[in-house]
Chains A and B, each alone.
Chain A
Amino acid sequence: MRGNRALDLLKGLAVCTLGAVALALAPGVGARGAEPGTGAPATATHAEPVPNPLLGGQTLLGSEPPDHVGEAFDSDASLPAHAKPVASYTLSARLDAERHTVDGHGTIVFENVSARPLSELFVHAYLNAFKNSRTLFLRSPFAAGRSGRGAEHWGYLDVTRFSVRELSRENLWPARGSKTGEDPDDETDVRVPLPRPIAPGETVSIDLEWTSQLPEIVERTGYEKDFHLVGQWFPKLAKLSPDGTFVHFPFHAQSEFFADYGSYDVSLDVPAAHVVGATGVLVEEKVEGGRRKVRYHADDVHDFAWTSWPDFLERRATVDGVAVRILYPPGNETNADANLRAVTHGLRFFGRAYGRYPYPVLTVVHPPSYAEAATGMEYPTFITTGFPWWVGIVSSFTERVAIHELGHQWFYGLVGTDEHAFPFLDEGLTTFAESSAMEALLGPGNGFRAPGLDVDGRAHLRGLAASAGHDDVVARPAPEFSSFHEIGALVYARTDTILATVARVYGAPLLDRALGRYARRYRFEHPGPKHLVAVVREVMGDEPADFLARALFEGGTVDFVADSVTSLRARAKAGVFDGPSGRTTEPAPAKEPDRYIGRVLVYRHGTLRVPVDVELRFEDGSRERRRWDGMERFRSFECEGPSRLVAAVVDPDLAVLLDDDLSNNAVRSGPGSTARLVERALYASELALGSLGP
């Protein structure tokens, strides 16, 4: 999900620092961890307490990473054809577009793929996050969630039937633990006791009936006028772990989702005038009795969302066999073009990097401007983008958001990580993928471009990463971050900066290979952070992997400082010398040699050790590069030559983007020129005064 967070970031690029300001203005909360008023610590609601996330202890995948993944996963030949279906949904839903309700019924086919009998099920009723002001989501000091707004009209999910055919015909819902764990006010995480355990390997069919009251759009679900974006709208089983526990959690304003793979077959019944877009392939459509009835089918996915609005225009294209469908509001043709251009590039770029896109369809929804809160969200084969009609004309922001959300098809969709426990695995990796794709699409200046000024999106992200929480841990559960500002800085921006640093220092091709191997190996699986680090170690070696682990798990920082540069005229050998043949005196020559000795002193602050280049600049214009392994706290570089040493730069190529402060990376013997700045300021002032003055 990027949403308004993404909009803030991208708008910020246009004015260089506005994004940071906007993030700084985001309402925050107190200390992380157990947050008064926001609920219990994030990990407390897991079936099992999440152990120290430092490179292990996750129950995901049920084991430590394999010793060896192997080069086979560097190509698409290794890709699995399908996911192991654990929870498959066959649903029917009818939208009342006036009351904004969805009446649904259907069946979940669920297999206990764990090693233990299940005596209970956990069901997420995410829509209940918007039921009243006391839910975990809405009682938070920043109750608006990522979308920047709270619920205008309450939204909730009423389950009227939940029965397991193989166990009994009894409706089990009334006997549920009515509230989320020990939280008396939240109903988003529901425990359903079973009359008898579901044995390992046993498959059961769960019959459902429910009604969803959609809220005015909050957190990318709900309605605005007659526009509907319907996500997290049905009772959804929590993710089953191999050890027989469920990864379940209440819907926190800073968190997203986690679920098992399966197939979704969903029939939708909406007003005939509405245009529908949804996860998966449209397999059936008919209009009868003033209603449009459509059926969508999707295999190998872990969620299903849809949209319904009468005014959608439609653009279709086929990109390397994928049927792309853009739904957009009238007047947004330029945005539609931008979206199509972005996903065309993205499907190819991400497909090459992380394994081909396996689905036959992709639906891109550009919501109307009055439904801005619906922008920037990812669901399997279905993404939402955003921005007003003119943005696609004057900037690349529309493309950036579309590429980001498309990137989630890999880091969220195909590699099904736990968005609640480790949001950096989806948002962080996707931001890195987005930056890389934008770089490939637009080159330098992919963030902001003006005459004589090119700014990369990554330059903005780097600044954001350095400005907030720069020494805090990236790899931790979403609710443990102090604010959205911190999530933006750490989960999105710092992960991108960390990975960019790994690429620039240790080799971009190697990191690309590592991420590609990780994405292919864990397609349709649920890896944790340790799996990512293990693949990086396998491909790139211990040093980059250790750097990555420290930066992600320990809040590692680094700041190189070019402290001083000195240069003196070299002196010829002269003075009194004692040797084997006795004392000798060598007189000073009449003229000292025309040579200079120089010294540069550089420091490394912080806990991260990373190799770096140091460039020595001489008066005659010559340059000399020295390599420093960055292991010591400081290092002195000496030189001798015919020209005076006048300046030095640590990391002249800006490889270590994680460097906390780039302004102290250079030192020179005299002040540098600011002629360009003065010239520009003078001209701008003269023109402005011409407008201001009489």
Chain B
Amino acid sequence: MSAPYRKAVLVVFAYRLAAGLVVGYPMARAFGALGATSLPDGDLELFAPRGFRLMETLRLGARPLVAAVESGLLASVVVGVGAVVPLVFALSALAAPDADARSTASRTADRLSASLLVSGLGLVLKAALVALLSGFGFAAGLAAFGSFHDERVPDLGGVLFAAPGLVLVTGVGLATDLALAILARLGGAALGALSRAVSLLRSRPGAVLRAFTENVVGASLLVVSAAWLTGAIDVSRPGGLRIFAVVLVHQTAVFGVVALRMRYFGALVALVPEPPGESADPGDLSGRASGVPG
């Protein structure tokens, strides 16, 4: 792992961990205070088979829990917006692997507003597309297949019709990520970066998709493996060591997910043609420009 890549991963992971605590800790404490803290074995008993105490806690604490979840969602939005900062720092580190920390920070500040705009636009566009295309697609599927006697056909047909919409959403996500990489590498305005990102996506779809697929598949494998491992550890049984082991497994999984994502962004940064006056090889994927090992 090269130094810029390591720096990028650590910064984003540290932020993810801190943000996770900001969002999750108050909700967990509110939930625990509804009864778990008075139980001899603490929250262990909430996860005992049959779920009587868990259901009772949910019943008695429905209102405060809703309030806690609302607060958590609000905090999620704030830290979600804030997540752009470490990401841009990480991308800056990947785009300029030889820069020192001060230069990287300066580069981050320089590109922050445009990156925020790109991220915001991407999020809004994805949400709108999900709502519109998927909704219409599903409705069209239901209408087209509604006369079939087999009750599975209209539902599955709806999913089939909705799929192109979801592909478009993925495309917007890829263009947004590419725009962030372009901003990190070249700077400039948000709309210009988005425009160049679309062009780059059209010219190099295979490379982008390969990097994206590696990221998604790898992250999914990590999360599924973590679920399997924590299931085997089984924290519904007593033992502080079990909790520690689960923390280790989960945080390793999150670290791995972040590392894969940074590797993905590194590949995108490497796809961005260098500015005039730098390397004459726009297709250089060796990792020199991204700081990611080739």
Taking Cβ atoms with an 8 Å cutoff, the residues of A that contact B are: 16-17, 20, 311, 329-332, 368-369, 388-390, 444-445, 447-448, 451-456, 458-460, 462-463, 466-467, 562, 617, 646-649, 654, 657, 661-664, 666-668, 671-690, 692-694
Interface status of B83 (Cβ within 8 A of chain A): yes
Please tell me which one of the listed residues A329, A368, A562, A663 contacts residue B34 in the complex, with CB atoms under 8 A apart. A663
Question: What residues of A have a CB within 8 angstroms of the CB of B50 in the complex?
Answer: 444-445, 454-456, 458-459
Q: Interface stretch among B94-102, B162-170, B200-208, B223-231?
A: B223-231
Give the one of B25, B52, B149, B234 with max A CB within 10 A.
B52
Please tell me which one of the listed residues B42, B51, B58, B122 contacts residue A456 in the complex, with CB atoms under 8 A apart. B51
Question: What residues of B have a CB within 8 angstroms of the CB of A329 in the complex?
Answer: 149, 151
Q: When the two chains form their complex, are residues A455 and B54 in contact, meaning their CB atoms are under 8 A apart? A: yes
Q: When the two chains form their complex, are residues B57 and A663 in contact, meaning their CB atoms are under 8 A apart? A: yes
What's the nearest-Cβ distance from chain B to residue A496, in Å?
13
Please tell me which one of the listed residues A445, A667, A677 contacts residue B32 in the complex, with CB atoms under 8 A apart. A677
Apart from the given pairs A389-B151, A647-B40, 4 other A-B contacts in the complex at a CB distance below 8 Å: A674-B31, A679-B247, A686-B24, A687-B254
What's the nearest-Cβ distance from chain B to residue A121, in Å?
45
Q: When the two chains form their complex, are residues A681 and B151 in contact, meaning their CB atoms are under 8 A apart? A: no
Please tell me which one of the listed residues B36, B60, B77 contacts residue A677 in the complex, with CB atoms under 8 A apart. B36
Q: When the two chains form their complex, are residues B80 and A693 in contact, meaning their CB atoms are under 8 A apart? A: yes
Interface status of B93 (Cβ within 8 A of chain A): no
Question: What residues of B have a CB within 8 angstroms of the CB of A453 in the complex?
Answer: 47, 51, 54
| Known contacts A674-B28, A683-B20: A466-B59 contact under CB 8 Å | yes
CA distance A562 to B79 in the complex (A): 41
CA distance A674 to B42 in the complex (A): 6
Question: What residues of B have a CB within 8 angstroms of the CB of A678 in the complex?
Answer: 24-25, 28-29, 32
Q: When the two chains form their complex, are residues B32 and A17 in contact, meaning their CB atoms are under 8 A apart? A: no
Question: What residues of B have a CB within 8 angstroms of the CB of A693 in the complex?
Answer: 79-80, 83-84, 87
| Known contacts A455-B54, A676-B44, A681-B27: A694-B149 contact under CB 8 Å | no
Taking Cβ atoms with an 8 Å cutoff, the residues of B that contact A are: 16-17, 19-21, 23-25, 27-29, 31-32, 34-44, 46-47, 49-60, 62, 72, 76-77, 79-80, 83-84, 87, 115, 119, 122-123, 149-153, 155, 176-177, 180, 223, 227, 230-231, 234-236, 240, 243, 246-247, 250-251, 254, 257-258, 261
9 A–B contacts from the bound complex (CB under 8 Å)? A311-B149, A329-B149, A463-B55, A463-B58, A663-B34, A679-B235, A683-B254, A692-B76, A694-B180
Interface SS of chain B: helix, strand, loop or mixed? helix
Please tell me which one of the listed residues B87, B231, B258 contacts residue A694 in the complex, with CB atoms under 8 A apart. B87
Please tell me which one of the listed residues A369, A390, A663 contacts residue B60 in the complex, with CB atoms under 8 A apart. A663
Total number of residue pairs linking A and B with CB closer than 8 Å: 229
What's the nearest-Cβ distance from chain A to residue B246, in Å?
6
Q: When the two chains form their complex, are residues A685 and B40 in contact, meaning their CB atoms are under 8 A apart? A: no
What's the nearest-Cβ distance from chain B to residue A367, in Å?
11
CA distance A458 to B23 in the complex (A): 32
CA distance A684 to B141 in the complex (A): 33
Question: What residues of B have a CB within 8 angstroms of the CB of A466 in the complex?
Answer: 56, 59
Question: What residues of A have a CB within 8 angstroms of the CB of B60 in the complex?
Answer: 661, 663
The 7 A-B residue pairs whose C-beta atoms are closest, nearest first, are A681-B24, A674-B32, A455-B51, A672-B42, A663-B35, A673-B42, A693-B83
What's the nearest-Cβ distance from chain B to residue A677, in Å?
4
Q: When the two chains form their complex, are residues B46 and A677 in contact, meaning their CB atoms are under 8 A apart? A: yes
CA distance A506 to B37 in the complex (A): 30
What's the nearest-Cβ distance from chain B to residue A399, in Å?
18
Question: What residues of A have a CB within 8 angstroms of the CB of B32 in the complex?
Answer: 672, 674, 677-678
Question: What residues of B have a CB within 8 angstroms of the CB of A369 in the complex?
Answer: 151
CA distance A675 to B37 in the complex (A): 10
What's the nearest-Cβ distance from chain A to residue B205, in Å?
21
CA distance A458 to B56 in the complex (A): 12
Question: What residues of A have a CB within 8 angstroms of the CB of B257 in the complex?
Answer: 687, 690
CA distance A17 to B235 in the complex (A): 23
Question: What residues of B have a CB within 8 angstroms of the CB of A668 in the complex?
Answer: 38-40
Q: When the two chains form their complex, are residues A692 and B80 in contact, meaning their CB atoms are under 8 A apart? A: yes
CA distance A680 to B227 in the complex (A): 12
Q: When the two chains form their complex, are residues A676 and B234 in contact, meaning their CB atoms are under 8 A apart? A: no
What's the nearest-Cβ distance from chain A to residue B182, in Å?
14
Closest to A562 in B: B38
CA distance A444 to B54 in the complex (A): 14
| Known contacts A678-B24, A693-B87: A683-B250 contact under CB 8 Å | yes
| Known contacts A330-B149, A672-B36, A693-B83: A677-B236 contact under CB 8 Å | no
CA distance A292 to B136 in the complex (A): 42
Question: What residues of A have a CB within 8 angstroms of the CB of B47 in the complex?
Answer: 452-453, 676
Q: When the two chains form their complex, are residues B58 and A17 in contact, meaning their CB atoms are under 8 A apart? A: yes
